[in-house]
Amino acid sequence: QIMGALALQQKDINGAMRWLAASWDRNPDDLYSASKLAQIYDKRRGDAEGALPFYLALYRQNPDFYEGAEPIERRIRETFDARRESLLKHAPVEGLGARFALDDASLRAEACLRAAAFKDPRWVERLGELLDDDVELVRRNADYALFEIGKKETDIVRARRDAWLGSDKPLVRIRALNLFADLDGKNALPALATALRDPNHAVRAFAKVMVLDHYFSKMPEGVKLRSRYLAEERDQEALSLLARFPAR
């Protein structure tokens, strides 16, 4: 540790790295060496991945550790985020299938964005399944990917319209309604009218908030549907959901 500090004073970065790494290898609780190595890798060499083991060592010892004015937890999170982005940035379309099934929801969401960029119809069925994902960000990105594919391969996406709108999964029904409102405009009004009388209270409420208010609130047909829905809705859970969103 002392030799590493002396090497830093002499601006011998390579020597400092050797001495500090040796000190840290002997004693993983050596926070001085870990901190200096993190600084060298991250700030001097621009190698956040190289700094990560030292940041993690510092975090394990003190989760509130600051590196300068920045909390170390933020730097660790940024490095992991960059790793995820790098993993998917160059992923070929053929490799997306496995990523749709990853346990990490952020990676599933990123895979959907890659599918949106590729606009490849091979993934329509798999993206349709992700409309029922247990994480909202994944569902939203799958919806967006299908919209992007649908602009290019209209018939392939519309071929699933009835199956998705009539799915036994409420999350699929509402996300499909949003998708086809995007793709079909006024032609989605009959599906919206059906959704506003869906047996599931959440589908009805989100059909109003996500689709009716967003796409059709200024149209005469939309105004009529809104008035009818609000006059008919009596379910307290649906009304509680509606109360969470500003009235339009």
Residues 6+ apart with CB under 8 A from 246: none
Residues 120 and 149 sit within 8 Å (Cβ to Cβ): yes
Tokens matching residue 46: 């621009």
Residues 6+ apart with CB under 8 A from 80: none
- Position 162 scores a pLDDT of 96
In degrees rounded to 5, what are phi and psi of residue 99? -75, -25
Q: How far is 158 from 172, CA to CA, in rounded Å? A: 15
Question: pLDDT by residue (tens digit) across 44-98?
Answer: 888 888 888 888 888 887 887 777 667 888 888 888 777 766 765 666 767 788 8
Confidence of residue 33 (pLDDT cuts 50, 70, 90): confident
* CATH tag, 2-83: 1.25.40.10
**Every domain range in the chain assigned CATH 1.25.40.10:** 2-83
Question: pLDDT by residue (tens digit) across 111-140?
Answer: 898 899 888 899 999 999 999 999 999 999
Whole-prediction pTM value?
0.64
Residue 173 has pLDDT above 70, yes or no: yes
Distances (CA, A) of 165 to 51, 180, 203, 204: 49, 9, 11, 13
More confident site: 98 or 5: 98
User: For the chain, how many residues are written?
Assistant: 248
**Environment class of 217 (CB within 10 Å of its CB; exposed 0-12, middle 13-18, buried 19+):** middle
